Structure 1
Amino acid sequence: MTFDSFELIKCLVLIIVGCILALYFYLTRNHRYWEKRGVPGPRPWPFFGTYLQQFFKPFPETEMEWYNDYGKIYGIYDGSKPGIIVGDPDLIKQIMVKDFHVFTNRRPVKTTHTIMSKFLSSLVGEEWKRVRSIITPTFTSSKMKKIFQIMKNSSDTILEKLERAALQKNGDIDLKELYGCYTMNVTAKCAFATEPDINFVKHATKLFTFPFWRKFLDYTVPMRLLDSLKFTVLPSDAMDFFRSITANLIHQRLMTVQSHHSCDHDFLDLLMNARRVDSVEISQSIKDIDDASFRQQTDDDQNQNQNALTGLVTQDVSKTLDQNEILAQSVLFFSVGFETSSQLLTYCTYCLALNPDCQETLYDEIEKTLGMNHGRIDYDIVLKMVYLDAVISETLRLYNPVLRMERQASEDYTLGNTNIVIRKGMIVGIPVWALHHDPQYYPEPYAFKPERFLMENREQIVPYTYLPFGAGPRSCTL
């Protein structure tokens, strides 16, 4: 080897080492952000931030470890970007309700897909306000009554399957698969007025089986790079499939008046006829969420919710949804309704199987309540089943599908009396799973106790520690 060749190799090695060091320092440039400010938190790693641990253990375990080790407020990192977790109920109320104007938006969705970018859960600012004000009436109890019959028909089918299984020799049945078919059938009919076939099931499954690495890239890789690569968390072919179905249905209903009027009152029909409403009606929908989360609204709470909604109804001339917006909300309704409902039913059955006394109490209530209605089941009679409501609420506490809620600060914000400043653009996480399993709020947190949610015990639930549907104007999928 000549001297010149040796020098060239040495220069190349130095350049490579220099590039590696430069990349390392770039990726870790903010990794002492919270340490410098006296905020505890898990150790971040280059590129991965604090998400490396989630490759080796389930997220709920990781969240509980951090919550127990670092307290109710701790710092995290999305790659090199600092974020913060807030688990104090009073501060959660400030973020979700009192100072909603600062935390209106969720984590930005990194997608260039026409439909995904128009999901209500993805919209920000004035565009979210406009669409929110239009579709709010779609979720009122009077509108839900209109699709109750669709759900009942599918329920009758699943009961027949259960009865056939019970008559078989071993009587075994895969409830997860059964409930998956049931919820897919219900949401497909409610959202798309469609009976799911093999092709439908194949594309629907893709929406819920994407690997963790896709979401990890969404959290850690810069948005510009993902946009240039046309990267989306949800598979584009599945999204395009549902877009095609919904577009055809909309076209048919617009072209054929008879078809439009003779169809079931499905979600698509409600969206096509939705109109913009005022903030009073929206505030009522928030109260419905609070009722479902067992938060007793005081006059002050109602005023804060109303204040949070000030200016929500824009003067935008568009008082209806365009076709892409209808497509987006239909796909969103299906995607969030199918898997979460199936999971809830599976866990609820599991809990009742392990607690036969609760099962017996629930059975007695259902029999008694239906007897008052001559054996008929309808929307109103279901609302009278208070123990059923408690069973579902306790199941959601134990196995809530939403492990963490997130909001993005629209301006610099001082967190209560902590002197911690949340910078503009920073993501704030609410550790729902950890709150639901904190013995400070729920004694014996891993025990199934529906009585926690009965009327006589509701006052013992600390506000903003039970968040199955979120809180404030941007609760649930809103």
Structure 2
Amino acid sequence: MFLTENIIIDLLGIFVALLLTFVVNHIWTLGYWKRRGVSGPEGIFLFGSMKDFFLSKKTMADFLKDLYNEYKSKGERYIGCYLSGRPIFVPIDLDVIKEVLVTHDNFDSHGFYYNENQPLTINVFTLAGTRWKEVRTKLTPSFTPGKIKMAYNSLLDCKLDLKVLLDKASKNNPVNIKDILVRFTIDVIGSSAFGLDIGSMKDSDEPSDFVINGNKVIEPSIENSVRFIIPFIVNHNILRAFNFTAFNQHINDFYVNTTLSTIKYREENNIVRNDFMNLLIQMKNSKNEHERLSISEIVGQSFVFYIAGFETSSTSTNFAIFELSQHQDIQDKLRQEINLVMNKYENQLTYEAVQEMVYLDQVVYESLRMHPPSPFLMRQCNKDYKVTGTDLTIQKGTLVFIPSYAIQYDPEYYPNPYKFEPERFNAENKKAIPSYSWLPFGEGPRICLGMRFGIQQMKIALITLIQHFKFSLNKRTTLPLKMSRLPFLMKTEHGIYIDLEVINSEDQTREHKNKNE
């Protein structure tokens, strides 16, 4: 049965054989792109092309941006690199990016792990292929402008608490604005996704369970790193066979039980609200099987809607405030627009009033250009695809990293890209911006379903702040901003601190009259 009479020697021999197999295979893989005639950086054993990222010398945003700039200057339309030993295709040319995101259905997966036995993974972000299309088709009608308008009241309810919290914070300058925005975001999404009054802005001393568990999902930790990395190096079918869990049991139980108890309470008490949870419950009870959602699908979608908004919405708003705090002229111009529109609507922040704030729209778009939620978009090829006009075939299973952050700082598309200039997105200038060069939420069939709601949430927070406060950057803020090493998120490692100055209503009225005279 054994090779020798000594079991220890046999096991050592097996280990050495497996190790050599791994090493040889790994080295062979690091020559993948060179054998296919694709330019790109050399791969290094274990690190692949991303040594500086793994050693925390560069963020993923900076790594991809440097790569993009280097090879675009050489006239390359795409390049190949390696995530450890896994080949990654990186398109540079916007036409190639369009092919990946929109033109063909060969890339209808993000490449993330999902398991039908684990409800948190059953959502439109992680699912792939036919399974994704089924759920996406069912959910899309819930995110139309009309449905977003229906859920608008939940935003207004939270706006009142945000104003109170800002008033309180302004008495203790400087203010770490991200802390306040996280509480606002949690209350908004908690209300919309789970139908719950979390009240984190009302009780500012003790973090809610939603805050605690939300942080546990995204915080850098050994456990999270292992759960994140394994699906990128092990076949997903093998992981499903061993029932690999993407989240620990405590997190799973919290979100599953919270969703199930909310559904049960609403149905037993005939509670109907204009929010997304109500729409999900309606689909659960639909008699049309093409519209019906399972309990697992509701849990998964509620979870991803909450987690996606929990960090990205608060961080995106945080960056917009960072830019406005350094550009008082832009802040003043935006405040003037907000006051003019609010005066027209008798100081009622209606859905229609927000849509009329054109300059606010430009500010949000420019902030998202400079500070997208993620530094890149990820797709996975689900069947072999030949890139138009080339001899290159992207093979099934290949990961694609679209360097959206790098593209949005490309001076060819955005002259003087490090300047915060909302006018880039006015009606005239916007025409000159090439398609697929602004990608904070993706594009094509996989574009973020919650994009409209996320932008609306940003706008409500900015309106509340700007209408009632003047603010400037406090010297406690570390400049230049030091960015987190998390690969998929654009966030600062340290706080953004601002000084708040209350604007009383008499000053606003006087300022409004002077500008109209």
TM-score bucket of the superposed structures, by smaller chain: 0.7 to 0.9
Structure 2 equivalent of residue 24 of structure 1 = 23
Q: State the distance in 2 between where 1:206 and 1:229 align.
A: 24
Question: In the alignment, does 2:124 pair up with 1:120?
Answer: yes
Q: State the distance in 2 between where 1:451 and 1:113 align.
A: 49
How far residue 116 of structure 1 moved from its aligned partner, in angstroms, is 2.9
Structure 2 equivalent of residue 399 of structure 1 = 371
Q: 2:281 aligns with which of 272, 285, 288?
A: 272
Structure 1 equivalent of residue 212 of structure 2 = 202
Q: State the distance in 1 between where 2:14 and 2:157 align.
A: 69
Q: State the distance in 1 between where 2:383 and 2:139 align.
A: 28
- SS for the counterpart of 1:194 is coil
Provide, for residues 312-354 of structure 1, a one-character-per-residue CA deviation record: whole Å limited to 9, x for no partner: xxxx944310111111111111111111110011101000001
Equivalent residue letter for 1:30 = T
Structure 2 equivalent of residue 389 of structure 1 = 361
- Kept in 2, the 8 Å contact 1:116–1:122? The answer is no
Q: State the distance in 1 between where 2:48 and 2:426 align.
A: 42
- Kept in 2, the 8 Å contact 1:79–1:219? The answer is no
Q: 2:335 aligns with which of 359, 363, 366?
A: 363
Equivalent residue letter for 2:30 = H
- Kept in 2, the 8 Å contact 1:121–1:477? The answer is no
Taking every aligned residue pair, what percent have the same amino acid on both sides? 31
Equivalent residue letter for 1:32 = G
Structure 2 equivalent of residue 440 of structure 1 = 412
Q: State the distance in 1 between where 2:357 and 2:289 align.
A: 43
- Kept in 2, the 8 Å contact 1:135–1:276? The answer is no
- Kept in 1, the 8 Å contact 2:114–2:126? The answer is no
Provide, for residues 348-383 of structure 1, a one-character-per-residue CA deviation record: whole Å limited to 9, x for no partner: 100000111110110011011111111110111101
Shift of the 36–398 alpha-carbon distance from structure 1 to 2, 3 Å rule, reads: same
Q: 1:427 aligns with which of 391, 395, 399?
A: 399
Structure 2 equivalent of residue 213 of structure 1 = 225
Q: How many residues align?
A: 429
Q: State the distance in 2 between where 1:94 and 1:376 align.
A: 44
- SS for the counterpart of 2:87 is strand
Question: In the alignment, does 2:76 pair up with 1:62?
Answer: no
Equivalent residue letter for 1:146 = M
How far residue 19 of structure 1 moved from its aligned partner, in angstroms, is 5.2
- Kept in 1, the 8 Å contact 2:123–2:135? The answer is no
RMSD (Å) for aligned C-alpha atoms: 2.8
Q: 1:350 aligns with which of 308, 322, 341?
A: 322
TM-score under structure 1 normalisation?
0.83
Q: State the distance in 1 between where 2:11 and 2:196 align.
A: 62
Provide, for residues 286-334 of structure 1, a one-character-per-residue CA deviation record: whole Å limited to 9, x for no partner: xxxxxxxxxxxxxxxxxxxxxxxxxxxxxx9443101111111111111
Equivalent residue letter for 1:103 = F
How far residue 18 of structure 1 moved from its aligned partner, in angstroms, is 5.7
- Kept in 2, the 8 Å contact 1:403–1:433? The answer is yes
Greater alpha carbon shift after TM alignment, 438-447 vs 196-205? 196-205
Shift of the 325–361 alpha-carbon distance from structure 1 to 2, 3 Å rule, reads: same
Structure 1 equivalent of residue 266 of structure 2 = 253
- SS for the counterpart of 1:320 is coil
Q: 1:80 aligns with which of 81, 85, 99?
A: 85
TM-score under structure 2 normalisation?
0.77
Q: State the distance in 1 between where 2:292 and 2:266 align.
A: 16
Question: In the alignment, does 2:139 pair up with 1:130?
Answer: no
Structure 1 equivalent of residue 503 of structure 2 = none
The residue correspondences of 1:55-204 to structure 2 (distance < 5 A) are: 55=54, 56=56, 57-71=58-72, 72-99=77-104, 101-109=105-113, 111=115, 114-166=118-170, 168=171, 170-196=172-198, 198-204=208-214
Q: Any unmatched runs of 5+ in structure 1?
A: 1-7, 278-315
- Kept in 2, the 8 Å contact 1:113–1:232? The answer is no
Q: State the distance in 2 between where 1:43 and 1:235 align.
A: 36
How far residue 165 of structure 1 moved from its aligned partner, in angstroms, is 2.8
Q: State the distance in 2 between where 1:109 and 1:158 align.
A: 36
Structure 2 equivalent of residue 292 of structure 1 = none
Structure 2 equivalent of residue 379 of structure 1 = 351
Q: State the distance in 2 between where 1:177 and 1:191 align.
A: 21
Greater alpha carbon shift after TM alignment, 45-54 vs 268-277? 268-277
Q: State the distance in 1 between where 2:361 and 2:189 align.
A: 21
Provide, for residues 52-99 of structure 1, a one-character-per-residue CA deviation record: whole Å limited to 9, x for no partner: 332222111111111122334111224433220112111112222222
Structure 1 equivalent of residue 250 of structure 2 = 237
Equivalent residue letter for 2:106 = V
Provide, for residues 140-164 of structure 1, a one-character-per-residue CA deviation record: whole Å limited to 9, x for no partner: 1111122211111111111122223
Shift of the 464–276 alpha-carbon distance from structure 1 to 2, 3 Å rule, reads: farther
Equivalent residue letter for 2:430 = R
